[in-house]
């Protein structure tokens, strides 16, 4: 009987129209009916990615696609740069190391953003670097990196730029081609308002040259197999049929609303969330906050884990806590995809109650009031770098 309110950065809530499609009688994947849906989805994703590159679709979590972007581009002994600002940035390092690739690492303090000039310096210092792996919106800290700047830096070198946009795609402006991002990996359970189980990757012609010469071993995630199958309007292995059918619906919903409007909404909600946190006296955690998830420091003397637990258990509200070294230290509210204004207000109202229950002095209604102000104004009065 418990009613759930999902304010987590993946999975995010699924619109009923999309969820219903998941339960339609299953189509066989080697039919013209499915092929039409698959190609429609593949083409439409290009608009979401803002790219002319093909989008390859795998049945996997986002991490599987991150791995695919390592094993399809690199060969043993290759030098790469990982610019990391959080838990998911570190995943690039772990994946590379699992394949015997020792990356040069730019590691900024969690909560800070990557300074594009440090990437420029690293590439100058080592012209043998073939690929730069980094993160768009770092889900674990709530930071967004300046990919436009990083893209222009990497594009002027022989290296390719590989971006984990798993939590950001569909929730925050990302111009794959204009910003010269060679490889973008993304997942289904974020801004695309779908269940987890599908992942996507766009590959530029510059990156495809690395694919051609890559010697790291692979089979299930082999881009060449996906590209060849895509030319035949199909997939190399049995696809996650019901998720792809549902994805067509969620893309249709995004198109009907207008992708620009979807991004504007996420931006407005992010702004409201920042205002709400500040009004409650919670310090924003991200140096440059992204628009898909807002992070704030847990007040002195309060256990962050308890906030998350009480919200879920007593009110059915799921938010995220801190990961890894941030465990118990921050809380995170997502506001992308099918999370609306009212959902955010529910989250803040219950947060006020839980903080109060945990002994933190909170003026009830103050966080909500600040959110309302921003939402009513319909624009973003709290600057995006308010956390500095």
Residues that bind a copy of itself (CB under 8 A): 2, 4, 6, 8, 10-11, 13-14, 16, 19-29, 31, 33, 59-64, 67, 94-95, 98-100, 187, 189, 195-197, 216-220, 222, 237-243, 312, 318
Pairing, β 330-334 against β 293-297: antiparallel
Which residues are within 8 A (CB) of 360 and not within 5 positions of it... i.e. 6 or more apart?
299, 301, 302
Q: Which one, 151 or 187, has the nearer CB to a copy of itself?
A: 187
CB of 29 to a copy of itself, least distance (A): 7
Q: Which one, 250 or 271, has the nearer CB to a copy of itself?
A: 250
CB of 360 to a copy of itself, least distance (A): 24
CB of 64 to a copy of itself, least distance (A): 4
CB of 252 to a copy of itself, least distance (A): 17
CB of 157 to a copy of itself, least distance (A): 27
CB of 199 to a copy of itself, least distance (A): 9
Q: In this structure, what DSSP letter does residue 110 have?
A: B
Q: Which one, 12 or 267, has the nearer CB to a copy of itself?
A: 12
Structural contact between residues 33 and 153, judged by C-beta atoms closer than 8 angstroms? no
**What is the C-alpha separation between 204 and 175, in angstroms, rounded?**
13
**What is the C-alpha separation between 357 and 203, in angstroms, rounded?**
49
Q: Which one, 28 or 361, has the nearer CB to a copy of itself?
A: 28
CB of 339 to a copy of itself, least distance (A): 12
Q: Which residue's entry shows tokens 């792809």?
A: 244
**What is the C-alpha separation between 29 and 21, in angstroms, rounded?**
16
Q: What residues pair up with 55 in beta bridges, in sequence order?
A: 202
**What is the C-alpha separation between 344 and 377, in angstroms, rounded?**
16
Q: Which one, 48 or 195, has the nearer CB to a copy of itself?
A: 195
CB of 116 to a copy of itself, least distance (A): 28
The two tokens of residue 367 are: 């966080």
**What is the C-alpha separation between 104 and 108, in angstroms, rounded?**
13
Q: Which one, 8 or 53, has the nearer CB to a copy of itself?
A: 8
**Which phi and psi angles does 318 have, rounded to 5°?**
-95, 115
Q: Which one, 67 or 352, has the nearer CB to a copy of itself?
A: 67
**What is the C-alpha separation between 360 and 349, in angstroms, rounded?**
14
Q: Which one, 6 or 114, has the nearer CB to a copy of itself?
A: 6
Report, in this order, helix, strand and coil percent for the chain, each rounded to 5. 45, 15, 40
The two tokens of residue 182 are: 């060679």
């Amino acid at each position: 009987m418990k009613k759930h309110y999902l304010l987590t950065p993946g999975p995010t809530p699924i619109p009923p129209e999309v969820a219903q499609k998941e339960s339609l009688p299953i189509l066989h994947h080697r039919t013209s009916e499915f092929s039409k849906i698959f190609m429609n989805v593949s083409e439409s994703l290009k608009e979401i990615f803002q790219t002319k590159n093909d989008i390859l679709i795998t049945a996997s979590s986002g991490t599987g696609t991150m791995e695919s972007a390592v094993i399809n581009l690199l060969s043993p002994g290759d030098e790469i740069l990982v610019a990391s600002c959080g838990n998911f940035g570190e995943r690039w390092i772990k994946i590379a190391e699992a394949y015997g690739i020792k990356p040069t690492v730019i590691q900024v303090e969690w909560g800070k953003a990557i300074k594009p000039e440090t990437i420029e310096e690293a590439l100058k210092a080592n012209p043998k670097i073939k690929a730069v792996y980094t993160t768009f919106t770092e889900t674990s800290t709530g930071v967004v990196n300046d990919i436009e700047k990083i893209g222009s830096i990497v594009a002027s070198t022989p290296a390719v730029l590989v971006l984990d946009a798993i939590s950001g795609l569909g929730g925050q402006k990302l111009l794959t081609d204009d910003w010269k991002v060679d490889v973008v990996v993304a997942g289904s359970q974020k801004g695309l308002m779908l269940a987890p189980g599908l992942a996507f990757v766009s590959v530029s012609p510059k990156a495809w040259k690395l694919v051609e010469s890559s010697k790291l071993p692979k089979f299930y995630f082999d881009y060449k197999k996906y590209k060849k199958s895509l030319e035949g309007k199909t997939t190399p292995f049995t696809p996650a049929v019901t998720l792809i059918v549902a994805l067509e619906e969620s893309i249709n919903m995004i198109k009907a609303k207008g992708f620009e409007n979807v991004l504007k909404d996420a931006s407005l909600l992010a702004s409201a969330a920042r205002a709400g946190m500040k009004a409650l006296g919670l310090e924003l955690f991200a140096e440059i906050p992204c628009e898909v998830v807002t992070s704030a420091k847990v007040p002195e003397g309060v256990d962050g884990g308890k906030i998350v637990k009480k919200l879920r258990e007593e009110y059915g509200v799921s938010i995220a806590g801190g990961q890894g070294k941030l465990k118990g230290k921050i809380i995170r509210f997502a506001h992308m995809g099918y999370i609306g204004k009212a959902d955010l207000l529910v989250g803040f109202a219950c947060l006020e109650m839980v903080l109060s229950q945990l002994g933190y002095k909170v003026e009830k209604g103050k966080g909500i009031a600040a959110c309302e102000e921003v939402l009513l104004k319909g624009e973003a009065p709290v600057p995006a770098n308010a956390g500095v």
